[in-house]
Chain A
Amino acid sequence: MKQFRKMVYPYLLWSTVVIAVPMLLILLYAFTSGGNSVSKFMFSLHNFKRFLTDKTFLEVLYRSLRIAVETTVVCVLLGYPAAYIIAKYSEKVKMRWVLIITLPTWINMLVRTYAWTGILQEDGVINSFLGLFGIGPVTFMYTDFAVILGMVYNFLPFMIIQIYTSLTKMDYSLIEAASDLGANPRKCFTKVTLPLSMPGVISGITLVFLPSVSSFCIPRMLGGGSYVMVGTIIESQFLTASDWNFGSAISLIMAIIIMISMYITKKVDKGEKLEAINA
């Protein structure tokens, strides 16, 4: 069977060129200055210094993180009950709901986000509805609310499916055991169901936080041209300002922040598990 081993080599070469080299290029550009040509580079930390000392850039970073955290929190708060309810349904109804939740994610994200621009207008459906009660018109478009709504709308299904999967994998006899031993339903939930579904919540958080923090089409479409997030800065550095060195440095900073936050989430999860075991 050793003859089949050779079949890996073409892909090994391919992935080195199109996956590894681009990552190295980002590193190279981030730590150099002096234009977009590879041939004449000089090591410098100028790009990082520029980002970390400029107040406007730090504000943008703060806003991106805040929006991503808020999106993630809303997704957990909406996604957990939904996953919990679906997991309690009968087998047939369960499958139907999983299909209902995942179906929209198959449709182009830009198309679905674009639809919200019509709904959220000053004279859109929501404002006509609010108008019936004498409220408004409320400005939704080009606000934090619109951006978070757009992100929650796009990423919520991932959260629901992750939590749902961990809830269905759970051993239900544990809950029975807990209630046999005298735990009330609330205690059963907080001491048994919730800790056991934590892995799903964690991977859901990863799947929501990561695209939210780096997204640039949702803030552009629902936040407007002057709504700046980390993703939109990177976009403009590459496509309009063409300062690739600075753009690479920002992407690197973003990637590091994402890695750190993932690490913390995993650590917190592990810490809680240890606590549970010790208790």
Chain B
Amino acid sequence: MSKKKKKIGSTVFMVLMMLFLYAPIIYTIVFSFNEGKSLTNFTGFSLKWYSKMFANKTMMESLFYTIACAVLATAISTVVGTITAIGLSKSRRAVKSVVEQLNQLPIMNPEIVTAIGLLMLFSAIHIEKGFFTMLIAHIMFCIPYVILSVMPKLRTLNPNIAEAAMDLGATPWQALTKVIVPQCMPGIISGALIAFTMSFDDFVISYFVTGNGVSNISILVYTESRRVNPSINALSTLIVLIITVALILVNVIPSIASKKEAKLAVDKDI
């Protein structure tokens, strides 16, 4: 009896927990289809906030800047992070520990501290605040995470394989691209995914280092939240959709790819 009671108790607790975590998201999605302007009374179904959102130039611009910045920052930080991680795995301990200490700073510091540091750096070297500074900042905080997710893969790698490739006549570049990189692909992909979502969701650092009318979605939501604007709900729903699709793709594509590979292998055997 008491065991059963305990089980019911824990189920109720977990259901409430789920409700707490998902209620606001569902609330936003529901009210994005509201006909009225109210954020509290649902008066009827309509898509008017979506058409208003697509007609709103600032919203579309910030959506564009967010995606452009996330794509560029992910691409650059994944390439640079991977190259650095491979270099680090062969480096002397002193160099390694210097880089690791430097990487710890943006991870351990409160975001606002990193943000004001960058703001002062850009002003000290007279770079005008805008999309470029935002991109630089995003690359800066993404690379440490890419390095952190590639390094463990490199550590498990057999160093003799690259050595063997070069003994058999591969150039260092070939050894790098044909041997080392393919073997740490899972780490690189997860690093890229972390970088993309970090950049896509960033608020604090972007808020401090951007300017000249360039803003991303987070900044837009922050500045618009002071007045009632249901288009924000529509935009939020769009973001939830984008992130959900991205997560599904990341989880589904590898399994489809591996299935295809398996199928190809089977076909070849036949």
Residues of A bordering B, CB below 8 Å:
1-12, 14-23, 25-26, 29, 36, 38, 78, 81-82, 85-86, 88, 97, 100-101, 103-104, 106-112, 114-119, 121, 123-125, 128, 153, 156-157, 210-211, 213-214, 216-217, 220-221, 225, 231, 234-235, 238-239, 244, 247-248, 251, 254-255, 258
Which of A7, A111, A117, A239 has the most chain B CB within a 10 Å cutoff? Answer: A111
Q: Are B98 and A12 in contact (CB under 8 A)?
A: yes
Given contacts A7-B84, A85-B10, A239-B208, contact A116 B120 (CB under 8 A): no
Bound Cα distance from A18 to B200, whole angstroms: 20
User: Across the interface, which residues of A come within 8 angstroms of B84, CB to CB?
Assistant: 7-8, 10-11
Q: Are A251 and B27 in contact (CB under 8 A)?
A: no
Q: Are A15 and B87 in contact (CB under 8 A)?
A: no
Q: Are A8 and B99 in contact (CB under 8 A)?
A: yes
Partner-contacting stretch, out of B110-118, B252-260, B261-269: B110-118
* Shortest beta-carbon contacts, A-B, top 10: A22-B117, A7-B87, A214-B110, A115-B24, A8-B87, A118-B39, A11-B84, A110-B221, A111-B236, A25-B120
For the complex, is B168 an interface residue (Cβ under 8 Å from A)?
Answer: no
Q: Are B120 and A244 in contact (CB under 8 A)?
A: yes
User: Across the interface, which residues of A come within 8 angstroms of B14, CB to CB?
Assistant: 82, 85-86, 97
Q: Are A214 and B111 in contact (CB under 8 A)?
A: yes
User: Across the interface, which residues of A come within 8 angstroms of B218, CB to CB?
Assistant: 108-111
Q: Are B80 and A251 in contact (CB under 8 A)?
A: no
Q: Are A81 and B13 in contact (CB under 8 A)?
A: yes
Partner-contacting stretch, out of B45-53, B182-190, B239-247: B239-247
Bound Cα distance from A258 to B112, whole angstroms: 13
Shortest CB-to-CB span from A24 to chain B, Å, is: 9
Bound Cα distance from A254 to B105, whole angstroms: 15
User: Across the interface, which residues of B come within 8 angstroms of A11, CB to CB?
Assistant: 80, 83-84, 87, 99, 143
User: Across the interface, which residues of B come within 8 angstroms of A258, CB to CB?
Assistant: 110
Shortest CB-to-CB span from B207 to chain A, Å, is: 8
Given contacts A118-B40, A248-B116, contact A15 B103 (CB under 8 A): yes
Shortest CB-to-CB span from B146 to chain A, Å, is: 11
Beta-carbon contacts of B149-186 to A below 8 Å, as 1s and 0s? 00000000001001100000000100010000000000
Q: Are B18 and A123 in contact (CB under 8 A)?
A: no
